[in-house]
Structure 1
């Protein structure tokens, strides 16, 4: 019904010149996860979430984290069972069939490309705020896209292209630099909590849920805890990139479990502490939609130097999120091309670095264009829609493979798999329908375009179909 399935035995077998080099150990994988998760979500979307849920943005972070925790457990089981690049796309191909795998892969392209663009726009906001606080003012037309009356968000374009160059230089080198950037981010968030928490004022938490719990349309915008959860969900899902790196892990059975589960635990604790400190220190109306909410809190508390340093840390370290997300998208494209669903020449890897250079170049240019022209909140919402579809597929794939391949060794076994898988699916469906209706419309259009590409090209050139026919 959903096309041929890729056999579990063939998932890790690849032709010469189309296999990725094994260069990553568990510290690299934890840093990939934390690098992707701790980023624009906490540095910039805290303000967007506060605007949609008020002080209950704290609860929105907790709900989004709980849904992601269920998905992360499913990811950990599947990634250690199927140590191949492609994450949710590869899992779906083995469990649910080629057509579903294509939809998931196409949705992951949406996730990663728009996630990169979102972070690039968020990074631009911190850079501009930091430069302006130093008394330097840049031409407004080069700091915002056409939606804001400008020409292009030039800093966002520049950072996307710079990160692309780093990835082309090599995976291990990029991952090592990412560890350094992650440490800078964590230190900066620790400084923020240290300064903001003593200024906690319980009055700032009233009313706690000014727009209610559910996602409702108010003034043309979705409001409520679940509406905020549907967008701050963006802040948690970087662990998908850890699963995408499975083929490049030196010891995938051990390292992937540590990377996926470890990064989620670390980041959930960090997010809750930062959200409580931010909302407790400043009324949510002042935080709402600020492009640099954490720096704003510190400046408002009479700590301009700390605010300046937080903004500087974001400028230095947020590119690590772009690095991880761009890495993830290039690997999804790479695996789809290797399977014949996209032009196979895109799956060539560099003999020097063992990384897919051409696909990384195309990915980086596409991300730079989106980052230069579109606003942060709209990009994040659409990226979330693609991710939620992928997470639903992962929950389903884990449960299906428990039935169809019970004999396969599972180096990490998800506890209560049918309960966790069902909760991941239901939670993601609820969050999906908490997104604005326009976002859902764009998501449907994106996947309709994808299905046209699949039936016009991918279905005819699929290697799995060709092997089955032979």
Structure 2
């Protein structure tokens, strides 16, 4: 450690020099990492948020995708440089601890806790909705109280329930992760292919119906975020701040640093490769969707892509897309549950969480922390109303992205000659683009989300300072 107090910095120790009980097994190559990134990025975001984005920006949602993708691309380049410089688990939390100090690392780790937990819980609840509908079509009707968590209206619970399918899918994915990292990554890669085929089918079917009339007016709500007459925050940037959810996930790759066979090569290929692939995929899907039918016809739909296909008379393709979502959405749960467990693992290894959680099995798998992570997620997914706070995930991710970009720039100044297996081109431009872009997206988030995020971190800092004394005593 260097410095003292809350701003002390952690020295990065290679995993090979750590106690065997804290060493993860190196089993992943770059194809596994690209698939992990694409699996995390391509999910409920593109399947559902294109409708939300179109509602806020009109056809200019295409521009919203481009802006969010460009900002995420800058962040991805910063992640690629930092992850290859410091090839240990922990992602933005670890980089912040080594470069900016412990208290900043805690804020970043606490923010990542919100991001990963809420993403996994939200996707699990989304999968539950698809699964319940699918079972209903087969004549299997689950009791209503077992298909949703508590419903709140004006702060009061109006309908109690437990989302059993959401609990089930989290438990299944967590069980798979405990069996072995390579095995779960291989299954993830197969399911990612299914998901990409479904999106390719959508583009192939919808693109021939492209009509320029559906693109007019292109930007009915303008560029900057503003309140519309109905009280909804609209504009290209308002849509970009929400659509941003559809892009992140590549940061989960950096949590695999200690499990990559050749981190100096594999991490940069995985992070940059998955991000570029997803930008191309999203732009194609957005153009095909907005050009096929008027955006107002699918803006409020929970399944906008399937709705578009049905509107075009392509019921078979719509059914295939829905079935693919049921099969492949667990890849998002797997990627984020994996990433969250590794961040928790490193925080426990640093004694910011109980150190006993940072032990691995004989196969090099952190079983204890994986099950602990799954329990936290299941609490949110099965028992708590998460709709009002799900946007916290975006705020947490933006915080992490800013921290990583700042770490990259600080290290360029502090240690310019340090070995960098991957060097971000035009680092100061890219870093500034990531920081300023993420800050602008944060400002463009709903005001209530910003307040939730402030409250979340006040609680987190209170916990940090309350536990400092206990850690010093030990």
TM-score scaled to structure 2, two decimals? 0.93
Deviation at 1:266, TM superposition (A): 0.6
Q: 1:273 aligns with which of 259, 284, 287?
A: 284
Q: Given the superposition, is the C-alpha separation of residues 321 and 379 from structure 1 closer, same or farther in structure 2, using an over 3 Å criterion?
A: farther
- Check the 8 A contact 1:157/1:372 in 2, yes or no: yes
Q: Which residue of 1 aligns with 2:110?
A: 106
Q: Which residue of 2 aligns with 1:297?
A: 308
Deviation at 1:131, TM superposition (A): 4.5
**1:264 and 2:275 equivalent?**
yes
Q: Which residue of 1 aligns with 2:415?
A: 405
Q: Which residue of 1 aligns with 2:403?
A: 393
- Check the 8 A contact 1:12/1:82 in 2, yes or no: no
**1:319 and 2:330 equivalent?**
yes
Within 1, Cα distance between the matches of 2:58 and 2:140?
33
Deviation at 1:208, TM superposition (A): 2.0
- Check the 8 A contact 2:389/2:452 in 1, yes or no: no
More off after superposition, 273-282 vs 384-393: 273-282
Within 1, Cα distance between the matches of 2:253 and 2:332?
12
Structure 2 gaps of 5+ residues are 153-158
Deviation at 1:348, TM superposition (A): 1.0
Q: Which residue of 2 aligns with 1:334?
A: 345
Deviation at 1:437, TM superposition (A): 1.3
Count matched residues. 463
TM-score scaled to structure 1, two decimals? 0.93
SS, match of residue 348 in structure 1:
coil
Q: Which residue of 2 aligns with 1:196?
A: 206
Q: 2:355 aligns with which of 336, 344, 347?
A: 344
**1:170 and 2:180 equivalent?**
yes
Deviation at 1:122, TM superposition (A): 2.4
Deviations 1:309-363 (A, max 9, x none): 1100010001001000000000011100101111101111112x31111211121
Deviations 1:222-257 (A, max 9, x none): 222111111111111111000110111000001011
Within 1, Cα distance between the matches of 2:89 and 2:469?
21
Q: Which residue of 2 aligns with 1:422?
A: 432
- Check the 8 A contact 2:59/2:215 in 1, yes or no: yes
- Check the 8 A contact 1:48/1:377 in 2, yes or no: no
Q: Which residue of 2 aligns with 1:370?
A: 380
**1:431 and 2:441 equivalent?**
yes
Deviation at 1:13, TM superposition (A): 3.9
**1:65 and 2:69 equivalent?**
yes
Within 2, Cα distance between the matches of 1:89 and 1:220?
37
Deviation at 1:460, TM superposition (A): 4.7
Q: 1:35 aligns with which of 11, 25, 39?
A: 39
- Check the 8 A contact 1:122/1:291 in 2, yes or no: no
Deviations 1:125-153 (A, max 9, x none): 33344455667655444333333746233
Q: Which residue of 1 aligns with 2:319?
A: 308
Deviations 1:386-413 (A, max 9, x none): 0000000001000001111222100110
Structure 1 gaps of 5+ residues are none
Deviation at 1:441, TM superposition (A): 1.1
- Check the 8 A contact 1:342/1:457 in 2, yes or no: no
What's the RMSD between the two structures over aligned residues? 2.1
More off after superposition, 371-380 vs 230-239: 371-380
- Kindly report which structure 2 residues correspond to 1:353-364, keeping only aligned pairs within 5 A, or say none: 353-364=363-374
Within 2, Cα distance between the matches of 1:73 and 1:330?
23
**1:54 and 2:58 equivalent?**
yes
More off after superposition, 453-462 vs 385-394: 453-462
Q: Given the superposition, is the C-alpha separation of residues 288 and 448 from structure 1 closer, same or farther in structure 2, using an over 3 Å criterion?
A: same
Within 1, Cα distance between the matches of 2:197 and 2:117?
28
More off after superposition, 27-36 vs 403-412: 403-412
- Check the 8 A contact 2:150/2:385 in 1, yes or no: no
- Check the 8 A contact 1:140/1:150 in 2, yes or no: no
SS, match of residue 44 in structure 1:
helix
SS, match of residue 233 in structure 2:
strand
Q: Which residue of 1 aligns with 2:156?
A: none
Within 2, Cα distance between the matches of 1:209 and 1:128?
37
Q: Which residue of 2 aligns with 1:4?
A: 8
Q: Given the superposition, is the C-alpha separation of residues 311 and 333 from structure 1 closer, same or farther in structure 2, using an over 3 Å criterion?
A: same
Q: Which residue of 1 aligns with 2:189?
A: 179
**1:86 and 2:90 equivalent?**
yes
